[in-house]
Structure 1
Amino acid sequence: MEAPLAERIRPKKLSEYISQLHLVGEQGLLTHQIARGIIPSLILWGPPGTGKTTLAQIMAEESKRPFFMLSAINSGVKDIREILDKAKQSGGMFTAKNPILFIDEIHRFSKSQQDSLLAAVEKGWVTLIGATTENPSFEVIPALLSRCQVYVLNPFAKDDLEALLHRAIKTDAYLKTKDIQLKETEALLRLSGGDGRKLLNIFELVVNASEGDLIEITNEKVMQLAQKNTVLYDKSGEMHYDIVSAFIKSIRGSDPNGAVYWLARMIEGGEDINFIARRMLILASEDIGNANPTALIMANNTFQAATIIGYPESRIILSQCAVYLATSAKSNASYVAIGKAQQAVKQTGDLAVPLHLRNAPTKLMKELGYGDAYKYSHDFDNNFIEQEFLPTEISETKFYEPGENNREKEIRHFLKNRWKDKYNY
């Protein structure tokens, strides 16, 4: 059986790799490590179809290392140990002989399976490269995570996706026999959702369903053919992110009906409980925040309760939480505030901590004036005294702007009362 198009045109070297310039561009975080062949154990975290497996294979090829690949879906501790036994013969840590062990969907490994990797990673018998679509902070055990660097892969941008299509037309042996005209690409790009593999699958479907050697790709043709072949729900990736996106946006948009419908779609599709509950936990802070601080408590309790109880009863708990979040007051003020603060850090660098805010655990530090001018808030009326808490260079910068909901109007009043005109609250 012929391999899918995405597999047929998979890049074999770094110069052919599309996107992820922050990792493998001229100034990429991994570029020089790959060139020198000194690759640490790492986790590649990103949505489906963003080149995680391809990047791992290229690392092995360009560093001239043996490459072993396991899928967490169908591999167990026995499979891991067989590969590790072979790897032990290779010798020293981070050497050219040191094999790369790539584990796809490492988040699906149990704790015991992940534990079985610890000694090999610690002693350098293998360089572990794990790929995951889930946050490794939740899905990878702390002991293993602490031994790995985490690198984030981004969804493909429009230019990247179009470059994939043109490469396929130009390099694939079968497609080269056709006269393919990309008249319109918007539908292809929209349906792909930034997933390169999904894009190529849909593109191949459209090409194979077309008669003759002249094939014109239009939005109408793509939608007509793709919609007939779209699966209802695929928790491994195809519709996975589209459905959860609709779920989150329904809650953010205060529509409990949309929320429970998309929740039902995920439940009927066999979605992981933790995945659903975790998304609501994030939303409770990102989209509700201090407009209703109880939402975060509710979502956290839902996460714990649903995990303990499991299906089918957990559907009731998940539904209760989804409806509660959807009907809650909304604010993204805290989310916006940390984004602004992080941007300021990137732009201004490591500004010095003002002397009065520094700790003074030693005699020398006390003599240098560390902490001298600090005013202990509880020594003053209303437990407040005005003083500067930001570096001099960004003094009076306002990152947090309270929302217009009742709770944050109270917060704005509190801040205005304390800081007067300093932050313009």
Structure 2
Amino acid sequence: FYSLSAISSGIKEVRAIIESAEQSGKSILFIDEIHRFNKAQQDALLGAVEQGIVTLIGATTENPSFEVISALLSRCQVYVLKTLTEEQLLQILNHAIATDHILKEKKIFLDETQALFDFSGGDARKLLNALELVVSQFPKEKEIHITNQAVTNVLQKKAALYDKGGEQHYDIISAFIKSMRGSDPNAAVYWMARMIEGGEDPKFIARRMLILASEDIGNANPNALLLATSAFQAVQMIGWPESRIILSQTAVYLASSAKSNASYMAINEAQDLVRKTGDLPVPLHLRNAPTKLMKNMDYGKDYAYAHSYENNFVDLEFMPEKLKGKKIYEPGDNARENEMRRFLSARWKEKYGY
């Protein structure tokens, strides 16, 4: 059994353990905070995991879909450790009070526990840290009575102004997104600063802007998606604290851009249509015909290659028979999409009503 911390270890330590494991036979390798390993460090694990030289156990507080490379993740089973229940938290408190070499010397009474539970967020480590902090405020008391008020008085200044797992997290990110959607760069940067000061992962902020660039700006300004993508990549390359400048630039740009949710509404409409109409058959002229049998069944017959016609366009039916003339995409009322509307109108005439 080998154990590493990704915070203080690198490729050298990983390779040394793999070499040792090759000599001793199959081994278990536990890596704490595995999300701290970069791509090259995670790649170094891949061969040993594939060959079964080591059984890898990685622990992370982040979403492994974002933080662990896909090749490594696909070879692992993900187990989600859920927050502890209040009953379990109470057991931990009682056990700590009864067995900790410092706490057991004090007379501690748990008169109320809800505030401790709330501050812990279901995390045992936070719970015990909070208990220790509260108890330390009464060094000369013969009896320490833990109440909700006592906990709040001690922890209110210590508690994070921005809890990444709590309600405020979702409220602030909601305010951030809605400020950009509402074209207010001032509010957008303010709410971003609240997240930054609260210790939010900059990649999380960048991801949210990436989604907004497509959902709320879309083809009204296609450059928004390019900038948001570049910002996400730059944040990964530059690191903290300089990447906050990149995030700010992107947020201001997105907030100050023309807006359209037409593409977002189009995919929603299309998915709803699929759910209602089911698996409608693909028209024969659009089907792939890689075999002689398929060609004999008229697969691909009468298909017209658009590039062989004027303006690289041919009036051909691309929808299933039952959905002929069904308009799904409605361009937004902005300069770029009005140009797209004119293009589509010139090609399709009255068919889709552009």
**TM-score bracket, shorter-length normalisation:** 0.5 to 0.7
Question: What residue in structure 2 maps to residue 13 of structure 1?
Answer: none
Question: What residue in structure 1 maps to residue 126 of structure 2?
Answer: 201
Whether the aligned pair in 1 keeps the contact of 2:160 and 2:198 (CA below 8 Å) is no
Indicate the larger mover: 321-330 or 76-85.
Answer: 76-85
Tell me how far 1:253 sits from its aligned partner: 3.5
The one-letter amino acid paired with 1:168 is L
Whether the aligned pair in 2 keeps the contact of 1:356 and 1:370 (CA below 8 Å) is yes
Indicate the larger mover: 103-112 or 334-343.
Answer: 334-343
Matched, 1:123 2:57: no
Question: What residue in structure 2 maps to residue 366 of structure 1?
Answer: 295
Whether the aligned pair in 1 keeps the contact of 2:35 and 2:64 (CA below 8 Å) is yes
Matched, 1:387 2:325: no
* Pairs within 5 Å for 1:209-248: 209=134, 215=147, 227-231=156-160, 247-248=176-177
The one-letter amino acid paired with 1:366 is K
Partner SS for 1:322: helix
Cα distance in 2 between the residues matched to 1:164 and 1:205: 17
Cα distance in 2 between the residues matched to 1:272 and 1:316: 14
Judged with a 3 Å threshold, the aligned counterparts in structure 2 of structure 1 residues 294 and 271 are, in CA distance, closer, same or farther, namely same
Q: Which of 1, 11, 18 pairs up with 1:84?
A: 18
Percent identity, please: 54
Cα distance in 2 between the residues matched to 1:343 and 1:306: 36
* Pairs within 5 Å for 1:404-423: 405=334, 407-408=336-337, 411=340, 418=348, 420=350
Tell me the alpha carbon deviations over residues 296-348 of structure 1, each in whole angstroms, 9 at most, x when there is no partner: 12323444566666677655444332211111233344345446656777898
Cα distance in 1 between the residues matched to 2:59 and 2:275: 28
Judged with a 3 Å threshold, the aligned counterparts in structure 2 of structure 1 residues 420 and 304 are, in CA distance, closer, same or farther, namely same
Q: How many residues align?
A: 333
Cα distance in 2 between the residues matched to 1:393 and 1:101: 57
Cα distance in 2 between the residues matched to 1:181 and 1:308: 44
Tell me how far 1:109 sits from its aligned partner: 0.9
The one-letter amino acid paired with 1:385 is D
Tell me how far 1:196 sits from its aligned partner: 4.0
Whether the aligned pair in 1 keeps the contact of 2:218 and 2:259 (CA below 8 Å) is yes
Tell me how far 1:121 sits from its aligned partner: 1.2
The one-letter amino acid paired with 1:197 is D
Q: Which of 187, 191, 212 pairs up with 1:283?
A: 212
Whether the aligned pair in 2 keeps the contact of 1:70 and 1:103 (CA below 8 Å) is yes
Q: Which of 164, 173, 179 pairs up with 2:94?
A: 173
TM-score normalized by the length of structure 1: 0.56
Matched, 1:357 2:286: yes
Cα distance in 1 between the residues matched to 2:20 and 2:268: 46
Partner SS for 2:290: coil
Tell me how far 1:288 sits from its aligned partner: 1.7
Cα distance in 2 between the residues matched to 1:116 and 1:178: 49
Tell me the alpha carbon deviations over residues 50-75 of structure 1, each in whole angstroms, 9 at most, x when there is no partner: xxxxxxxxxxxxxxxx7x55432222
Judged with a 3 Å threshold, the aligned counterparts in structure 2 of structure 1 residues 171 and 301 are, in CA distance, closer, same or farther, namely closer
* Gap regions ≥5 residues in structure 2: 98-108, 136-142
* Pairs within 5 Å for 1:292-311: 292-303=221-232
The one-letter amino acid paired with 1:110 is N
Tell me how far 1:234 sits from its aligned partner: 8.7
Q: Which of 103, 106, 119 pairs up with 2:31?
A: 103
Tell me how far 1:287 sits from its aligned partner: 2.7
Matched, 1:334 2:263: yes
Judged with a 3 Å threshold, the aligned counterparts in structure 2 of structure 1 residues 229 and 149 are, in CA distance, closer, same or farther, namely same
Q: Which of 68, 71, 74 pairs up with 2:8?
A: 74
**Bigger relative contact order, structure 1 or 2, given CA contacts below 8 A and separation 6+?**
1
Cα distance in 2 between the residues matched to 1:139 and 1:221: 39
Tell me the alpha carbon deviations over residues 175-225 of structure 1, each in whole angstroms, 9 at most, x when there is no partner: 99745476x99x94xx88xx6439x8379848985997685x6xx998766
Tell me how far 1:233 sits from its aligned partner: 6.7
Tell me how far 1:353 sits from its aligned partner: 4.6
Whether the aligned pair in 1 keeps the contact of 2:304 and 2:314 (CA below 8 Å) is no
* Gap regions ≥5 residues in structure 1: 1-65, 92-97
Partner SS for 1:361: coil
Whether the aligned pair in 2 keeps the contact of 1:287 and 1:332 (CA below 8 Å) is yes
Partner SS for 1:116: helix
Question: What residue in structure 2 maps to residue 257 of structure 1?
Answer: 186
Cα distance in 2 between the residues matched to 1:241 and 1:375: 53
RMSD (CA atoms): 5.2
Q: Which of 36, 41, 47 pairs up with 1:113?
A: 41
Whether the aligned pair in 1 keeps the contact of 2:262 and 2:329 (CA below 8 Å) is yes
- Which protein has the larger Cα radius of gyration, Structure 1 or Structure 2? 2
